[in-house]
Structure 1
Amino acid sequence: MSQPKTLYDKVYDNHVVREDENGSTILYIDRHIVHEVTSPQAFEGLSKAGRKVRRLDGTLATVDHNVPTSSRKNYTDSASFIKEADSRIQVLTLEENVKKFGVQFFGMTDRRQGIVHVIGPEQGFTLPGTTIVCGDSHTSTHGAFGALAFGIGTSEVEHVLATQTILQSKSKNMRVQIDGELAPGVNSKDVMLHVIGTIGTAGGNGSVIEFCGTTVEAMSMEARMSMANMSIEAGARAGMFAPDEITFDYLKGKPLAPQGAEWDKAVEFWKSLKSDEGAHYDKVVKINAADIPPTVTWGTSPEDTVSITGTVPDPAQAPNDAAKAKIERALTYMGLEPNQKIQDIKVTNVFIGSCTNSRIEDLRSAASIVKGRKVAEGVYAMVVPGSGLVKHQAEQEGLDRVFSEAGFDWREAGCSMCLGMNPDMLSPGQRCASTSNRNFEGRQGPGGRTHLMSPAMAAAAAIAGHLADARKYQPDERTGAAPVPAVEIAPEEQQVPTTQQTPDAADDGVAQSLGAPEVTAPVTTAAAGMPKFEVVEGAAAPLERANVDTDLIIPARFLKTIKRTGLGVSLFAALRYNADGSENPDFILNKPGYRDSKILVVSGGNFGCGSSREHAPWALLDFGIRAVIASSFADIFNNNMYKNGSLPVILPEEQIAILIEDAKAGKPLAVDLPKQVVRRQNGDEYPFEVDQFRKHCLVNGLDEISLTLQHEDSISQYEKKRSELWPWLDGKTYRAGKIGVAGGAKTLTDW
């Protein structure tokens, strides 16, 4: 009898192309979503190596992070429409790359354009039982469908484009079980903030979380997507929900979902994707739904949660000095006082949008609070739909008029104020009630203060002018559902032909992807760009701070580049520089003796939590830091360091405390990878563990793409088996061997 498996085990095992004796796996990727921020360097790598995109049918691109969300009525082209030069370059670079490589693209004149994690599900590109990646940490969103979905860095974006695989080691299994009926006015965003507040932002490190229980079984797909989206904020590699009838009803009729007999076969398979009785979980968390109140954040981490009826914490009540310092630092940044009532906190801005809460259900929920009311004086409130299709549907239902009449700004689709990468940013000192997913320092703009909450709660804050309990404004005591009918958009209405991307070479691109890609270069080494890592020694900089997030390492406003270099000057910008741009002499990397540090020693753990973007390790490398020593790392950041020739070293906090003192005393350290030790000046050695395949690649400066393509036969054999078992995973034009034709024009629309 076979051993019982979890949902994660089943999906992972179904995608193993090859596994070595150390457990390192070549994992096949079914769906790859691409946007403009994390892809330029990946496409550049393909060009330099003479490689093609292996599976055009498994790749979908759009623009979302940089695009303005102002009216596009006068849009003619991106070059003239996007005013910020660095944002414009990233968007234009993606437009050029999708034409060059023949990738399906939803550009700014295409109604299907939107946030990557909104467009995948609404097109049926996201399907149960698939593996899905994107150069964006919130790819975990797609796990709501029973997919194994996770964020990757730019090096891995290139790897997937070239090989349709990724190198992985299996994560642990974690189950979060939520049972019971939610109280009136409590929704999935409250649930997820409560979960993160309970287990912490490192609670899921090294794990894939499966959400289960009667509470989540009753949730809509959009509610599940909000929870899966924020599983990354709990430190998890991914979050997953078992697919069920709610999942199937959502997907049926979507443009890229299977149809007819193929649909029936797919559903039969999808029904098997649930954890077996007796399957093993490494960690189980049980939560009673009745214990979950309407929840908001007060501080600078998603784990800083509190009931809307509660108060700001008092550092004097903290359990230890580290927790006290963390609370004090957050209160200072947020401009709050201990024991201040949450509902006394005034706001200047309200943002309803992001990949967490910008779908039609979210907008209906907010509109139900707003209808017939006005935005408070002095508050700027905006609503940003997650896609052009969401915007279109909301306008069909009249939600745009509800928001506009109340004084909200009704915008175009995009990431908008979720992060400071486009014109929709907070100014220093502004305070925002936000439906997004991160409240890190400077996340929505330098000096901006963010409180996370549900769409209903954000709408209530806009009306009240301060954080407010949405239950006081609910039109329906039980659910708070908007008093508008749900209008579905027919599939043919969604299939709007794109006017921006009709690559001349697209036919060739699909035909070439049918066979094995040409490998024109041998296995590359450090001479081609990957530096060898053997022994790194010298000055070590001490950083006594837990939960150092990627926005702190490199703020989002510095990510608008198409190169891997030049980011060192912006490393830890919020800590290194004063408001006037001058250096902060108190920050460690500005002090004599530490300006040339090659090693960073960090106390507190969970280093690199947050985004999947590789810009954080690029910034560290560009500054000169090649090794970071900490007691724990966020999973994606840990992976991204290896991909760029740098080393994350995990040691216990007791040893780190000694190394911190050495660093403060100016004593040099050595990180010896061949021997796997950290060596103190006095000769003491602290051993550390490292994956042997990764060690081999680092020490020899090897290119993982070339190494993977040595197993081309295994990948091709897997693809053949995949087509036989799960034919709906092959794009329609891919099997036809030609590009579909719509309106007489060549296009990649008809998959």
Structure 2
Amino acid sequence: MGLTLYDKIYQQHLVDPDNKTAPLQYVDAHLIFEVPTAQAFDSLRRNSRPVRRTDLTLATVDHNVPTNNRSQYRNAAFFVKEPAARTQITLLEKNITEHKIKFFSMSDRRQGIVHVVGPEQGLTLPGSVIFCGDSHTPTHGAVGALALSGGTSDIEHVLATQTVLQKKYKNFRVCVEGELGPGVYSKDIILHLLGQIGTAGATGCVIEFCGSTIWNLSMEARMVLCNMSIEGGARSGLVAPDDVTFEYLKGRPLVPSGDDWEKALAYWQTLHSDVDAYWDFTVEIDAAEIVPSITWGTSPDDVIPITGRIPDPVDYDGTNPFKAAAIRRALKYMDLKPNMLAVDIKIDRVFIGSCTNSRIEDLRAAARVAKGRKVAESVYAMIVPGSGLVKQQAEKEGLDVIFKEAGFDWREAGCSMCLAMNPDVLSPGERCASTTNRNFEGRQGVGGRTHLVSPVMAVAAAIKGRMADVREFLNAENGSINVTQLTLGGEQVRSYGPVKEPISVSTSDLVDDAIPNRPTQHAKTSVEGIPKFDVLSSVAAPFDMQNINTDLIIPGEYLKTVTRTGLGSNLFRDLRYDTKTHQEIPEFILNQPPYRNSQILVCTGENFGCGSSREHAVWSLVDFGFRCVIAPSFASIFFNNCGKNGLLAIPVDDLEALKEIHANGVANREIRVDLPNQDIRDAEGRLIVKFEVDPYTKHCLINGLDDISNTLASEEKIYAFETRQKKTFPWLFNRIRKLQSPRRLGLDLPSAMDVLDW
């Protein structure tokens, strides 16, 4: 039987194919940024561990950075006003200086959103494994890379070992055939898919997007699909590389050149799924059925066509009470009525940006609708380019002039209003048409209401002051859009400036001083470990919600911490506290005795922990006092993060057993979770259910062992693998050394005092 593209990349990167218990994937490139890294570097320091491959690591800042004008920028300490954000950014600067990691700071026009910067610079290559501590890392899969994400513990693991623990996932094929209609964007394809499979439909899988519709998409449009594959529960997303991919990559700074290009290209052309490959799941979509779409609720799968109506919970009362309850909650939060027309939803704000839709093609598409038109007086609309180079290219093409004349606020690069971590936030009650990837409660600000749309739909909404069908604009001369999903003309963002001294060098011509920083024998053993787990007895705090996402567990503004503790007081903040008075809501379960002291949480709704890769969600549960979470199913990244912090996550698909555990919690009766025997019993010792647990996770929890110590016990195997890897794929090594300083490229800000001269 043949192999899928995912199978091929996974197998090729196994450090030790015989290790079935704790399989290690070698990481070819590691992207880091300010939010989840402080704790990782601090732990490395405490354990006397070096960054193993500084030559395979690239850093930038994005989540916390202000996007206001930088003409007076001097340095981050002066420019970033919010203290916690400033601390995270300056700590990253300190850490990358200490470890000699190359870094795009705010003084460098290459700075931008990590998932825009990576492909833009050519760090992302077909057949490689990319890691980044952000859940939307699958974006990089658009070039045919296996792009993996995880929390702070995984970041530390990659920094220390250049590997990540990664079990084999299932294969999920999404085949889209046919031509897309006018006004239909790649964002509409992924929203359509999410509406079909839901936020847990691809849990435990890697999605490969294929079919004639996908082959006709540009690289940047493919990135949109892979970016939001995580919203369907997938571990990653992939598109097989083809001529579109190779044309996009050629000439970028970190892409091989000369003889290396020919060798790499020959390998890349083998990267496709075999015709007889086995697929665990397949979804087929007719492109003609896809229309411009929006989300109406508080989950990415709350999707309706712009021509549709908001659902009525009454229609689900008899068949799916969980869904009915979720619709009612979403309607209340979003302040919408059942059966309301999508086009009757009025908006206050428009945001075009984020790692989903902030690239040059997104801006070109948006500009074609905005040209000659005006943003409604009732709407504040902003556009945030994904990188300084995207901004530079857009200004070269005059797109900024079009946007400004239309009434849009033209900003600097950063994550901006994607999540409430920087000054760009929604006020309570404000409604936003947003090109981002998540519409969770409070995602863009406390009480903010988010509707996900494509860039062209966002502009249409800005002009109308309400949700609007962009196809209404297609026949007008100044808003003509032919095929919005394709490249809309114009050159690529080439990722470099006016080089003062032209340089062209193959990686094979460089002096090979990119050698691993191998740990000492002492550093192979951690001084910390994780809390041990044996037998736990507690009253379980009962929850009845599905799709409890990481933003609901701990809102984005609390990610601006540089420690792993102190988050428990804001666990489930938007459920525990009144948003106006900030007082506890007595009815909420964790505000009631005995649940304030519960060590077990039981949730009857599926997909617990969906959303972000933020390990902060697990830290907040642990800080509150929880040692165990029981639910029908968990999002993959959250599930992985639990075991690394001594939190036992138990999936229980026996619904009767789950109801019994929940009922014991409601009745204030203790249950007993026995990890060695893998069972859950009631207070009288009667068996409720046996549960499965990964043997490796069980071993670590019972013995209080951390992953890095276990991995470094096999350090010789890692060294042997990377030695072979360098011989087989020489173009993957040494290349970050080719990056030039912003001053040499003419990409530094004139007023900056913190320009790094590499």
Fold match (TM-score > 0.5): yes
Does residue 722 in structure 1 map to residue 725 in structure 2?
Answer: yes
Match of 1:60 in 2: 58
Stretches of structure 1 lacking an aligned partner (at least 5 in a row): 498-509
Of all paired residues, the percent bearing the same amino acid is 55
Do the aligned partners of 2:297 and 2:451 also contact (CA within 8 Å) in 1?
yes
Q: Deviation per CA, 1:108-129: give whole Å up to 9, x if none.
A: 0101000000000000000010
Match of 1:590 in 2: 591
Does residue 561 in structure 1 map to residue 540 in structure 2?
Answer: no
Q: Secondary structure at the match of 1:374?
A: coil
Residue number among 477, 482, 503 corresponding to 1:478 in the alignment: 482
Match of 1:504 in 2: none
How far 1:487 sits from its partner (Å)? 3.2
Match of 2:751 in 1: none
Looking at structure 1, the residues matched to 715 and 591 of structure 2 have their Cα atoms a distance apart, in angstroms, of 48
Do the aligned partners of residues 428 and 11 (structure 1) sit closer, same or farther apart at CA in structure 2, a change above 3 Å counting? same
Does residue 312 in structure 1 map to residue 310 in structure 2?
Answer: yes
Match of 1:613 in 2: 614
Match of 2:428 in 1: 428
Do the aligned partners of 2:21 and 2:695 also contact (CA within 8 Å) in 1?
no
Q: Secondary structure at the match of 1:420?
A: coil
How far 1:320 sits from its partner (Å)? 2.3
Aligned AA for 2:355? C
Does residue 158 in structure 1 map to residue 160 in structure 2?
Answer: no
Q: 5 Å matches for 1:338-737?
A: 338-474=338-474, 475-476=479-480, 478-480=482-484, 485-490=489-494, 492-493=496-497, 513-514=515-516, 516-521=518-523, 523-524=525-526, 528-579=528-579, 580-652=581-653, 653-685=655-687, 686-732=689-735
Looking at structure 2, the residues matched to 133 and 34 of structure 1 have their Cα atoms a distance apart, in angstroms, of 9
How far 1:361 sits from its partner (Å)? 0.2
Aligned AA for 1:112? R
Do the aligned partners of residues 314 and 710 (structure 1) sit closer, same or farther apart at CA in structure 2, a change above 3 Å counting? same
Match of 1:505 in 2: none
Looking at structure 2, the residues matched to 258 and 693 of structure 1 have their Cα atoms a distance apart, in angstroms, of 38
Q: CA RMSD in A?
A: 2.2
Aligned AA for 2:649? P
Do the aligned partners of 2:426 and 2:446 also contact (CA within 8 Å) in 1?
yes
Does residue 168 in structure 1 map to residue 140 in structure 2?
Answer: no
Match of 1:501 in 2: none
Q: Deviation per CA, 1:596-630: give whole Å up to 9, x if none.
A: 11000001110000000100000000000010000
Aligned AA for 1:620? L
Stretches of structure 2 lacking an aligned partner (at least 5 in a row): 502-511, 747-753
Do the aligned partners of residues 495 and 558 (structure 1) sit closer, same or farther apart at CA in structure 2, a change above 3 Å counting? farther
Looking at structure 2, the residues matched to 250 and 114 of structure 1 have their Cα atoms a distance apart, in angstroms, of 19
Residue number among 20, 43, 46 corresponding to 2:44 in the alignment: 46
Looking at structure 2, the residues matched to 177 and 253 of structure 1 have their Cα atoms a distance apart, in angstroms, of 30
Q: Secondary structure at the match of 1:395?
A: helix
Do the aligned partners of 2:365 and 2:481 also contact (CA within 8 Å) in 1?
no
Aligned AA for 1:572? F
Residue number among 52, 74, 77 corresponding to 2:75 in the alignment: 77
Do the aligned partners of residues 45 and 512 (structure 1) sit closer, same or farther apart at CA in structure 2, a change above 3 Å counting? farther
Do the aligned partners of 1:311 and 1:340 also contact (CA within 8 Å) in 2?
yes
Looking at structure 2, the residues matched to 370 and 496 of structure 1 have their Cα atoms a distance apart, in angstroms, of 37
How far 1:21 sits from its partner (Å)? 5.4
Q: Secondary structure at the match of 1:215?
A: helix
Aligned AA for 2:480? D
Match of 1:233 in 2: 231
Looking at structure 2, the residues matched to 451 and 733 of structure 1 have their Cα atoms a distance apart, in angstroms, of 38
Q: Deviation per CA, 1:382-401: give whole Å up to 9, x if none.
A: 00000000000000000000
How far 1:56 sits from its partner (Å)? 1.3
TM-score, scaled relative to structure 2: 0.94
Do the aligned partners of residues 744 and 650 (structure 1) sit closer, same or farther apart at CA in structure 2, a change above 3 Å counting? closer
Does residue 267 in structure 1 map to residue 268 in structure 2?
Answer: no
Residue number among 114, 130, 135 corresponding to 1:137 in the alignment: 135
Do the aligned partners of residues 40 and 494 (structure 1) sit closer, same or farther apart at CA in structure 2, a change above 3 Å counting? farther
Match of 2:507 in 1: none
Match of 2:504 in 1: none
Q: Secondary structure at the match of 1:119?
A: helix
Q: Deviation per CA, 1:460-493: give whole Å up to 9, x if none.
A: 0000000001111233353258998513455551
Looking at structure 1, the residues matched to 525 and 369 of structure 2 have their Cα atoms a distance apart, in angstroms, of 59
Do the aligned partners of residues 156 and 557 (structure 1) sit closer, same or farther apart at CA in structure 2, a change above 3 Å counting? same
Do the aligned partners of 2:218 and 2:487 also contact (CA within 8 Å) in 1?
no
Q: Secondary structure at the match of 2:304?
A: strand
Looking at structure 2, the residues matched to 712 and 97 of structure 1 have their Cα atoms a distance apart, in angstroms, of 24
Residue number among 73, 98, 101 corresponding to 2:99 in the alignment: 101
Do the aligned partners of residues 741 and 306 (structure 1) sit closer, same or farther apart at CA in structure 2, a change above 3 Å counting? closer
Looking at structure 2, the residues matched to 454 and 316 of structure 1 have their Cα atoms a distance apart, in angstroms, of 30
How far 1:740 sits from its partner (Å)? 9.2
Match of 2:508 in 1: none
Do the aligned partners of 1:368 and 1:481 also contact (CA within 8 Å) in 2?
no
Aligned AA for 1:97? N
Looking at structure 2, the residues matched to 559 and 496 of structure 1 have their Cα atoms a distance apart, in angstroms, of 40
Q: Secondary structure at the match of 2:103?
A: strand
Do the aligned partners of residues 269 and 749 (structure 1) sit closer, same or farther apart at CA in structure 2, a change above 3 Å counting? farther
Aligned AA for 2:55? D
Do the aligned partners of residues 741 and 592 (structure 1) sit closer, same or farther apart at CA in structure 2, a change above 3 Å counting? closer
Looking at structure 1, the residues matched to 755 and 520 of structure 2 have their Cα atoms a distance apart, in angstroms, of 25
How far 1:703 sits from its partner (Å)? 2.0
Looking at structure 1, the residues matched to 33 and 544 of structure 2 have their Cα atoms a distance apart, in angstroms, of 35
Match of 1:5 in 2: 3
Do the aligned partners of 1:110 and 1:496 also contact (CA within 8 Å) in 2?
no
Looking at structure 1, the residues matched to 514 and 336 of structure 2 have their Cα atoms a distance apart, in angstroms, of 59
Do the aligned partners of 1:253 and 1:491 also contact (CA within 8 Å) in 2?
no
Q: Secondary structure at the match of 2:672?
A: strand
How far 1:378 sits from its partner (Å)? 1.4
Q: Deviation per CA, 1:309-353: give whole Å up to 9, x if none.
A: 111111111232221111111000000011111101000000000
Do the aligned partners of residues 330 and 521 (structure 1) sit closer, same or farther apart at CA in structure 2, a change above 3 Å counting? same
TM-score, scaled relative to structure 1: 0.94
Looking at structure 1, the residues matched to 633 and 639 of structure 2 have their Cα atoms a distance apart, in angstroms, of 9
Do the aligned partners of residues 739 and 252 (structure 1) sit closer, same or farther apart at CA in structure 2, a change above 3 Å counting? closer
Moved over 6 A (4+): 481-484, 494-497, 738-742, 744-750
Match of 1:127 in 2: 125
Do the aligned partners of 1:350 and 1:380 also contact (CA within 8 Å) in 2?
yes
How many residues align structurally?
Answer: 732
Do the aligned partners of 1:295 and 1:453 also contact (CA within 8 Å) in 2?
yes
Looking at structure 1, the residues matched to 561 and 393 of structure 2 have their Cα atoms a distance apart, in angstroms, of 34
Aligned AA for 1:261? D
Aligned AA for 1:420? A
Match of 2:326 in 1: 326
Do the aligned partners of 1:120 and 1:126 also contact (CA within 8 Å) in 2?
yes
Aligned AA for 1:710? A
Do the aligned partners of residues 477 and 120 (structure 1) sit closer, same or farther apart at CA in structure 2, a change above 3 Å counting? closer
Looking at structure 1, the residues matched to 537 and 19 of structure 2 have their Cα atoms a distance apart, in angstroms, of 32
Q: Secondary structure at the match of 1:537?
A: strand
Q: Secondary structure at the match of 2:569?
A: helix
Do the aligned partners of residues 160 and 484 (structure 1) sit closer, same or farther apart at CA in structure 2, a change above 3 Å counting? closer
How far 1:256 sits from its partner (Å)? 0.5
Do the aligned partners of 2:514 and 2:734 also contact (CA within 8 Å) in 1?
no
Match of 2:199 in 1: 201
Do the aligned partners of 2:120 and 2:494 also contact (CA within 8 Å) in 1?
no
Q: Secondary structure at the match of 1:178?
A: strand
Q: Deviation per CA, 1:43-73: give whole Å up to 9, x if none.
A: 0011111111111121111110000000011
Match of 2:222 in 1: 224
Q: Secondary structure at the match of 2:2?
A: coil
Looking at structure 2, the residues matched to 597 and 549 of structure 1 have their Cα atoms a distance apart, in angstroms, of 20
Q: Which piece of structure 1 moves more, 681-690 or 147-156?
A: 681-690
